Amino acid sequence: MVTGALALTALSAPAAQADETVGNTKISNVVVNGGKAVILGTSAKKTITVKFTATDSSGIYYGTSTLWYGKSPNTATGAVMAKGEAAKCGKGTKVTCTATFVIDPTYHLDNSLAGGWKTFVAATAYDGNYVIKDHAKSFNMQRLSKISINASPEPVKKGKDLTVTGSLTRANWDTGKYAGYTNQPVKLQFRKKGGKTFTTVKTVKTDSKGNLKTTVKASADGTYRYSFAGNSTTPAITNGGDFVDVK
């Protein structure tokens, strides 16, 4: 994990200060990871970009960005520096800058860092003017989720009980393994054979180990699936479903 003290080394002077603009340098259109949440599992690294527009009448000389977690960059409990620290910026008075980040969950992250992150962005012009934005954009850093389902018995007689089990797990950045996501609402959905859409049958909560279990009456051939809506720390996930033959 990268601490707040180390995070500041990524912020080129005078970036350790609060938002500041000197001259007519401007930053706009900040986009993190194409506007999507950043989702990581237990070990695989993920490469993302932060793109922003920088403008100045003398041209843009330098741009940079850092991802951070906490109340301020000075006290950040987590941070990821851009690859090479500098962003790649085009030439001209209005340019697009792209900062590339390689996020390693085994080094940069622990469970306390899941959720809302912020983006530091700065640009310097050829005439020495600059702009600093401590909190240019917010985004979610999420723990990869997985969900399973199994309906039994198969086949089942019409009107008989059908037991639908499964589990909801997510990456544990502290242990490097996947663990059950407890006490979470998950929708059990059904699509009749030949149908085009799923409808929600009921909402089931995961138990203390992340397991799912419920019973429904078998009514017709079709596919059951579990669907988790997700939240700021964990992405939405829906499994492919389990087709049930009703006799």
Same domain? For 122 and 213 the reply is: no
The mean predicted confidence, pLDDT, of the chain is 93
pLDDT at 2 over 90: no
pLDDT at 4 over 80: no
The candidate with the shortest Cα–Cα distance to 105, out of 93, 115, 113, is 113
Same domain? For 205 and 221 the reply is: yes
Outline where DSSP puts E strands in the chain: 20-22, 26-32, 38-40, 46-55, 60-69, 78-86, 88-89, 94-103, 115-125, 130-143, 145-152, 161-172, 177-180, 185-192, 199-205, 211-217, 222-228, 237-238, 242-244
CB atoms within 10 A of CB 5: 11
pLDDT of 8 reads 38
Same domain? For 85 and 198 the reply is: no
Percent over 90 (pLDDT), the chain: 92
| Helical H segments across the chain, by residue range | 4-7, 105-108
Per residue in 170-197, pLDDT (tens digit) is 999 999 999 999 999 999 999 999 999 9
pLDDT at 1 over 90: no
pLDDT at 13 over 50: no
Same domain? For 138 and 192 the reply is: no
- Rounded average pLDDT over 214-240: 97
Q: Which one of 100, 124, 143 terminates a domain?
A: 143
Percent over 70 (pLDDT), the chain: 93
pLDDT of 241 reads 96
Same domain? For 15 and 58 the reply is: yes
pLDDT of 71 reads 93
Q: Which one of 99, 118, 143 terminates a domain?
A: 143
- Rounded average pLDDT over 201-217: 98
Dist CA 175 CA 154 (whole Å) = 37
Distances in whole angstroms, Cα of residue 124 to Cα of each of 15, 87, 93, 102, 210: 11, 11, 12, 24, 49
CA quadruple 136, 26, 4, 10: dihedral sign: positive
Per residue in 22-31, pLDDT (tens digit) is 999 999 999 9
Name, in order, each residue with C-beta under 8 angstroms of 71's C-beta and a sequence gap of 6 or more: none
What predicted TM-score, i.e. pTM, was given to this entire model?
Answer: 0.90
Same domain? For 96 and 175 the reply is: no
Total count of domains within the chain: 2
The candidate with the shortest Cα–Cα distance to 134, out of 28, 51, 11, 32, is 11
pLDDT of 17 reads 52
Dist CA 131 CA 63 (whole Å) = 10
- Rounded average pLDDT over 63-82: 95
CATH number for 113: 2.60.40.10
pLDDT of 204 reads 98
pLDDT at 18 over 90: no
pLDDT of 12 reads 41
Same domain? For 152 and 79 the reply is: no
Dist CA 229 CA 190 (whole Å) = 16
Q: How confident is the model at residue 15 (pLDDT cuts 50, 70, 90)?
A: very low
pLDDT at 14 over 60: no
Dist CA 179 CA 245 (whole Å) = 32
Could you list the residue range(s) of the whole structural domain that residue 69 is in? Answer: 4-143
